[in-house]
Amino acid sequence: MQRRPAIILNFGSQYVQLIARRIRELGIYSEILPFNTKAEEILKRDPYCVILSGGPASVYEPSAPLPDEDIYHLGIPLLGICYGLQAMVYQLGGVVERAVKQEYGRAKLTVIKDDPLFYGLPKEFDVWMSHADKVVSLPEGFEVLASSENSPNAVIKKGKLYGIQFHPEVAHTTYGREIFHNFLYRVCNAQKNWEVGDLVEEKLQEIRDTVKEGKVICALSGGVDSTVAAVLTHRAIGDRLECIFVDHGLLRKGEVQEVESYFRSLSLPFRKVNASELFLSRLKGVEDPEEKRKIVGRTFIEVFEKEAERSGAEYLLQGTLYPDVVESAGIPGAKVIKTHHNVGGLPEKLGLKLLEPLKELFKDEVRQIGKKLGIPDELLQRHPFPGPGLSIRILGEVKEEDLEILREADYIFIEELKRWGLYNKVWQAFAVLLPIKSVGVMGDVRTYERVVALRAVDSSDGMTADWSRLPYDFLDHVMRRIINEVKGINRVVYDISSKPPATIEWE
Ligand SMILES: Nc1ncnc2c1ncn2[C@@H]1O[C@H](COP(=O)(O)OP(=O)(O)OP(=O)(O)O)[C@@H](O)[C@H]1O
Ligand SMILES: O=c1[nH]c(=O)c2[nH+]cn([C@@H]3O[C@H](COP(=O)(O)O)[C@@H](O)[C@H]3O)c2[nH]1
Ligand SMILES: NC(=O)CC[C@H](N)C(=O)O
Ligand SMILES: [Mg+2]
């Protein structure tokens, strides 16, 4: 049976899989197609709707990607999001310009006109914006349904053509899910045709079909993603899997012992490899964040290739998730935000075949799979920790003495979060060591020492994030402990940037 899809045209947005995922969650099958897919090709699939994603381009640039203009005349409901809205406006004769005031992060939306799209929603709510261009005049026949302070034309419509300047797909838009629900079920009259189903069974089969009789080594970090990937694959192919945990000298205080004891208890075939000298020597003198990420990626692979040779494995299993792929511009049209060591950081010639069963999923979906697999909560609730580890939390060159300072500061922050019952309330938290010094006074003596920044964010998938409103008393306590206990630090600051426009990590 052919399922009627919701079609998403991809203009290179960071969020394109998030759109697909929102639609999946609402029980509708969805497909992502290239932005220039012909209208007749789209029509053949009998879709419920066409959604135009956001994207990094600006419609008035000569090389801007634009969809087949016929899509506006198919009589199929259409929803343009951010760049998608701007493309529709431009092609139908409206005007889009670079805005004087750009809009990143939270904005308040005010609904001006009732519409099925806003069914059941309040007249005012928070939405998440990420744009520099702005619709300044509408094409003929369009009306405004909602505005924000910076975007008078935040939601527009003509018949079944809708355009939205904000991002309903990101978790920080308060009623984003409801907007998709209303669009699919009230505007498009869609019928449920997709069950999240048993993703676990599907994945097990996929792994068995790919690996067949082969052997696999798993790059295991002790984090949520690679743990879920390992347990899943172990269930699929048993002891033909071996897990390799690399101590690259960039791990947190106590982490090696912690990870070892977790994995002994899960009874997975497990090996620890100490490669810290190799990683630290390669990073010596390197300041550029992208360069550091690539070095870590390549060095990881060197270690894994050696391990594979020893065990005769042909596959390398990684816990790669969708955000890693998209930020490394692993999808067409997307810009590189940062090279995730496990995607863009891989060498061109890879002697191993990659196995990445979680590649199109998001962190919270992976946690759900982990739960189904019986992985203990304590492990599943661990905060994400990037593969390049502390090397991207020491801004600039990575020196051994700085690693020690950062380890101590980070340990205090996390220990106190746990003590105060806040660890599971924030999505991710860590300390960053800044490459600057500032003046202090301790016991009547002048100090001139380093600065630590604390970062704690609320998120559901890492694609967007807001800074956690940690209690002042808590921050005060952590500041005091860090400055009193960690030699070399005389100042602590708290990072209050959201993503966008910042990112979660500093490098
Ligand atoms: N120290 C390590 N040893 C072996 N493999 C690693 C290590 N660090 C990272 N990796 C590999 O790189 C992948 C990506 O790292 P990433 O930190 O995104 O995922 P994770 O560690 O599994 O989960 P989390 O995001 O919860 O930390 C991991 O899934 C794992 O396959
Ligand atoms: O395995 C990883 N390898 C990497 O190279 C990497 N860079 C960032 N991160 C993690 O991804 C999430 C989003 O981070 P950013 O907002 O900083 O891009 C956050 O949870 C980051 O910790 C990484 N994970
Ligand atoms: N997120 C987007 O789709 C951005 C669209 C466009 N490049 C802008 O800055 O307005
Ligand atoms: Mg990790």
Instruction: Please report the pLDDT score of residue 429 as a whole number.
Output: 98
User: Does 53 belong to an annotated binding site?
Assistant: no
CA–CA dist 285, 289 (Å, integer): 12
| pLDDT tens readout for residues 79-100 | 999 999 999 999 999 999 999 9
Residue type at 78? L
Check whether residue 136 and residue 214 sit in a common domain.
no
Among candidate residues 380, 411, 445, the one where a domain is terminated: 380
Q: Separation of 341 CA from ligand 4 center, angstroms?
A: 11
Instruction: Evaluate whether residue 499 is within a structural domain.
Output: no
User: Does 333 belong to an annotated binding site?
Assistant: no
Q: Is the CB of 223 under 6 A from ligand 1?
A: yes
41 noted as active-site residue: no
Tokens representing 120?
């059941």
Q: Is the CB of 54 under 6 A from ligand 3?
A: yes
| pLDDT tens readout for residues 1-55 | 568 999 999 999 999 989 998 998 898 988 889 999 999 999 999 999 999 999 9
Lowest mean pLDDT among 6-10, 59-63, 155-159, 372-376: 372-376
Instruction: Evaluate whether residue 365 is within a structural domain.
Output: yes
Instruction: Evaluate whether residue 386 is within a structural domain.
Output: no
CATH number at 356 reads: 3.40.50.620
Average pLDDT along the chain: 94
Share of the chain above pLDDT 90, in %: 83
Catalytic residue among 49, 131, 169, 188: 169
Check whether residue 208 and residue 301 sit in a common domain.
yes
Check whether residue 179 and residue 203 sit in a common domain.
no
Lowest mean pLDDT among 58-72, 77-91, 208-222, 315-329: 315-329
Check whether residue 416 and residue 314 sit in a common domain.
no
CATH number at 138 reads: 3.40.50.880
Among candidate residues 355, 380, 405, the one where a domain is terminated: 380
Check whether residue 46 and residue 68 sit in a common domain.
yes
* Residue range of the domain that includes 28: 6-187
Residue type at 31? E
Instruction: Evaluate whether residue 364 is within a structural domain.
Output: yes
Domain count, the chain: 3
Tell whether the model's pLDDT for residue 210 goes beyond 60: yes
Q: Which atom of ligand 1 is nearest to the CA of 383?
A: 26
Q: Which ligand is nearest to the CA of 58?
A: 3
This prediction's pTM = 0.84
Check whether residue 156 and residue 282 sit in a common domain.
no
Contacts of 288 (CB under 8 A, 6+ apart): none
Instruction: Evaluate whether residue 504 is within a structural domain.
Output: no
Instruction: Evaluate whether residue 344 is within a structural domain.
Output: yes
Q: Separation of 38 CA from ligand 3 center, angstroms?
A: 23
169 noted as active-site residue: yes
| pLDDT tens readout for residues 283-329 | 999 999 999 999 999 999 999 999 999 999 999 999 999 888 877 87
Among candidate residues 144, 163, 187, the one where a domain is terminated: 187
Instruction: Evaluate whether residue 96 is within a structural domain.
Output: yes
Instruction: Evaluate whether residue 362 is within a structural domain.
Output: yes
73 noted as active-site residue: no
CATH number at 449 reads: 3.30.300.10
Q: Cα–Cα distances in Å, from 304 out to 312, 319, 378?
A: 11, 14, 28
CA–CA dist 231, 238 (Å, integer): 9
Strand ranges inside 65-142, DSSP E: 78-81, 95-111, 124-137
Catalytic residue among 49, 82, 188, 243: 82
Q: Is the CB of 375 under 6 A from ligand 1?
A: no
Instruction: Please report the pLDDT score of residue 262 as a whole number.
Output: 87
Instruction: Please report the pLDDT score of residue 476 as a whole number.
Output: 98
Q: Are 297 and 344 in contact (CB under 8 A)?
A: yes
Check whether residue 11 and residue 52 sit in a common domain.
yes
Q: How far apart are the first and last CA of the chain?
A: 47
Check whether residue 172 and residue 204 sit in a common domain.
no
Check whether residue 176 and residue 303 sit in a common domain.
no
User: Does 311 belong to an annotated binding site?
Assistant: no
Instruction: Please report the pLDDT score of residue 196 as a whole number.
Output: 54
Check whether residue 309 and residue 436 sit in a common domain.
no
Q: Separation of 116 CA from ligand 3 center, angstroms?
A: 26
Number of Cβ within a 10 Å radius of residue 197: 8
Q: Separation of 216 CA from ligand 4 center, angstroms?
A: 19
Q: Separation of 158 CA from ligand 2 center, angstroms?
A: 40
Check whether residue 234 and residue 372 sit in a common domain.
yes
Check whether residue 215 and residue 316 sit in a common domain.
yes
Instruction: Please report the pLDDT score of residue 198 as a whole number.
Output: 59
439-447 LR contacts (CB < 8 Å, sep 24+): 439/490, 440/483, 440/490, 440/491, 442/483, 442/490, 447/490
Q: Is the CB of 220 under 6 A from ligand 1?
A: yes
| pLDDT tens readout for residues 345-383 | 777 778 899 999 998 888 888 998 999 899 999 899 999
Q: Is the CB of 387 under 6 A from ligand 2?
A: yes
